[in-house]
């Protein structure tokens, strides 16, 4: 247990130092803690890191340049950074049962870029070196490079579509992944909203991709990664899994066997926050075969590693290896079930009819609202969510027809079955009392809305009762 008076004294002194330089930042930091304490945080990609993780980021490791890899840096004096990166990678390998771990990516998107370019380098660059009789890329002529660039730029990627629950980096056209690959996307069954593995297999056979991306950011079900690997092997594709959202459920052994991506994928990417409850950052797990390519992530696509964040990753991964984390991870999944049941028994419409992971996707069109209107009305009542597309969304990716709701953060605070049932009830109260607005021309608006009188105050008060029983960073006083 963290000593609360010591923790309070530490943060008070820290904020005092910040205040002496820029008081507005100190005040915003205090206010952020207040806001997080007083709201129902239900954003599926957010959580609360431990004081140990938070404090690890605020050290002089922030001052180090350390391009390269352990024992092979382009700067002198990196022996302590080597220790930090080695410990982070060790914990990651042990936690996930991976042959190789790379802790340098600054974010999940960076991790995905490292994975994409590592796959390209391994699958395209290697054969081309052999074709030209070169030992390494430095021996290629400019004419060779012209051919190689053409080859790199014409590879095929098959990923989950955004409205089905995939991520922007899985081949969505406005993202770099949709520009660097010839891409197609697979969706879900239009009736059930579930992945149809036969349809994915048929698309893979037709498209013959170099890379198949599995994983999701808004799909409320588990994935059979053994089946996805079978499909990839059938078309000689590399299977990449983005487990950023559900890494905590993998680490906590909620997802095992065919639902654990690590034994089945060639390469796995993740963030280290979200359900893993660490600092904001990314990570790559890979087979030994791909490890040399991944190790070139910096300077291939990454800038210098953030040594202070790698240190915090090591601390968070050490926490995730404790038995208590498995209890937490199971609680995340159980609470998502409770939340889904709370919505369903009150007549709400959920994409796929429920959940078996850490998130619920609520279709708000039955309330006559867009996702943007619902998100804003809920925020007025102190319920923090994010709007999200649903399959075949008529409102597109900006206004949307859905709200994505996750359980990792409030589970960290100690919420259980009864509280999540009450959360569903409060959200239904807000949405049922929200009316869509109109534009200045009198047409229906996708953004403006009116929340019924007194609803926000009632929901705030009901939320405060639950939040008071489960304080955030208990005993921490910034006054």
What CATH number does the domain containing 178 carry? 3.40.640.10
Claim to verify: residue 294 and residue 353 sit in the same structural domain:
no
pLDDT of residue 103: 98
- 418 — phi, psi (to 5°)? -65, -40
Query: pLDDT tens-digit profile of 332-373?
Result: 999 999 999 999 999 999 999 999 999 999 999 999 999 999
| Domain boundary residue, one of 320, 339, 366 | 320
Q: Are residues 124 and 258 in the same domain?
A: yes
- Round to whole Å and give the CA distance between 394 and 264: 35
Q: Tell me, what CATH number does 374's domain have? A: 3.90.1150.10
| Residue 69 backbone zone (phi > 0: left; psi -120 to 50: alpha; other: beta) | beta
Give the residues of the chain that fall short of pLDDT 70: 1-2
CA distance 118 to 123: 8
Give the pLDDT score at 171: 75
Which residue among 320, 339, 361 closes a domain?
Answer: 320
Whether the Cβ atoms of residue 49 and residue 62 lie closer than 8 Å to each other = no
pLDDT at 133: 80
Based on the fold, state whether residues 283 and 361 are members of the same structural domain: no
* The token pair that represents 71 in the structure block: 């024992």
Q: What is the per-residue pLDDT for 123?
A: 82
235 and 286: one domain? Answer: yes
Cα torsion for 211, 174, 282, 219, to the nearest 10°? Answer: -70
Q: Are residues 308 and 331 in the same domain?
A: no
8 A C-beta contact, residue 198 and residue 205:
no
List the beta bridge partners of residue 269.
242, 284
Residue 213: inside a domain, yes or no?
yes
Q: Has residue 26 been placed in a domain?
A: no
Is 5 within the bounds of a domain?
no
| 71 falls within a domain | yes
Return the pLDDT at 279.
97
Whether residue 88 is found in the same domain as residue 207: yes
Query: Counting every residue, how long is the chain?
Result: 479
Residue 91 within any structural domain of the chain: yes
Contact 220, 289 (CB under 8 A): no
Please name the residues in contact with 296: beta carbons below 8 A apart, sequence gap of 6 or more. 118, 121
Which strands, in side-by-side order, build the sheet including 386-388?
A: 349-350, 359-363, 402-406, 386-388
Distance of alpha carbon 186 from alpha carbon 316, whole angstroms = 34
**pLDDT for 1:** 44
Q: How many C-alpha atoms does 240 have within 13 Å on its Cβ side?
A: 29
Q: Does residue 396 sit in the same domain as residue 425?
A: yes
What integer pLDDT is reported at residue 2 of this predicted model? 60
Give the DSSP letter string of 237-280. PEEEEE-TTTHHHHHTTSS-GGG-STTT-SEEEEESSGGG-S-S
Inside any domain, residue 479: no
User: Do 247 and 192 form a contact (C-beta atoms < 8 A)?
Assistant: no
Is residue 274 located within the same domain as residue 374? Answer: no
Within-domain flag for 187 = yes
Task: Name the domain count of the chain.
Answer: 2
Among 283, 299, 320, the domain-final residue is: 320
Same domain, 338 and 309: no
- Whole-angstrom distance, CA of residue 31 vs CA of residue 17: 17
Domain that holds residue 272: 61-320
Do 72 and 154 lie in one domain? The reply is yes
Question: Considering the domain boundaries, does residue 2 fall inside one?
Answer: no
User: Do 375 and 446 share a domain, yes or no?
Assistant: yes
Burial class (CB in 10 A: 0-12, 13-18, 19+), 124: middle
Contacts of 115 (CB under 8 A, 6+ apart): 240, 267, 269, 284, 286, 294
Residues 304 and 401 in one domain: no
Q: In terms of DSSP H, where are the helices of 132-244?
A: 142-152, 176-180, 197-207, 225-234
- Cα distances from 407 to residues 96, 245, 442, in angstroms, run 22, 11, 38
* Angle, vertex CA 9, rays to CA 5 and CA 15, nearest 5: 145
């Amino acid at each position: 247990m963290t000593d609360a008076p010591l923790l309070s004294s530490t943060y008070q002194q820290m904020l005092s130092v910040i205040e002496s330089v820029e008081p507005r930042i100190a005040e915003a930091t205090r206010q952020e803690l207040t806001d997080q304490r007083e709201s129902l945080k239900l954003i599926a990609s957010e959580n609360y890191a431990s004081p140990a993780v938070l404090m690890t980021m605020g050290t002089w490791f922030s001052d180090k340049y350390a391009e390269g890899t352990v024992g092979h840096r382009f700067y002198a004096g990196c022996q302590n950074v080597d220790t930090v990166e080695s410990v982070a990678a060790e914990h990651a390998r042990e936690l996930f049962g991976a042959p190789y771990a790379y802790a340098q990516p600054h974010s999940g998107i960076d991790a995905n870029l490292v994975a994409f370019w590592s796959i390209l380098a391994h699958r395209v660059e290697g054969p081309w070196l052999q074709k030209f009789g070169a030992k390494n890329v430095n021996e290629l002529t400019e004419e060779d490079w012209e051919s190689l660039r053409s080859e790199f730029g014409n590879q095929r990627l098959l990923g989950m579509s955004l409205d089905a629950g995939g991520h922007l980096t899985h081949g969505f056209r406005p993202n770099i992944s949709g520009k660097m690959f010839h891409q197609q996307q697979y969706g879900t069954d239009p009736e059930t909203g579930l992945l149809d593995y036969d349809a994915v297999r048929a698309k893979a056979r037709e498209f013959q991709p170099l890379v198949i991306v599995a994983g999701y950011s808004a799909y409320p079900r588990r994935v059979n990664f053994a089946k996805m690997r079978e499909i990839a092997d059938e078309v000689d594709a590399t299977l990449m899994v983005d487990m950023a959202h559900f890494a905590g459920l993998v680490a906590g052994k909620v997802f095992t066997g065919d639902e654990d991506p690590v034994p089945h994928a060639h390469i796995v990417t993740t963030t280290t926050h979200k359900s893993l409850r660490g600092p904001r950052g990314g990570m790559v797990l890979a087979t030994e075969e791909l490890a040399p390519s991944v190790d070139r992530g910096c300077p291939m696509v990454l800038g210098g590693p953030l040594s202070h964040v790698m240190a915090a990753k090591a601390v968070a991964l050490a926490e995730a290896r404790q038995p208590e984390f498995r209890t937490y991870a199971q609680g995340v999944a159980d609470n998502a079930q409770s939340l889904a049941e709370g919505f369903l028994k009150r007549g709400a419409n959920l994409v796929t009819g429920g959940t078996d992971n850490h998130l619920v996707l609520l279709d708000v069109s039955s309330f006559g609202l867009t996702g943007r209107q619902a998100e804003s009305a809920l925020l007025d009542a102190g319920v923090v969510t994010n709007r999200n597309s649903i399959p075949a969304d008529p409102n597109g990716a900006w206004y949307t027809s859905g709200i994505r709701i996750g359980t990792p953060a409030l589970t960290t605070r100690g919420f259980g079955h009864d509280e999540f049932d009450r959360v569903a009830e409060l959200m239904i109260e807000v949405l049922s009392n929200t009316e869509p607005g109109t534009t200045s021309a009198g047409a229906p608006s996708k953004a403006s809305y009116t929340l019924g009188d007194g609803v926000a105050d009632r929901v705030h008060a009901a939320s405060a009762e639950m939040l008071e029983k489960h304080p955030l960073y208990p005993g921490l006083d910034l006054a």
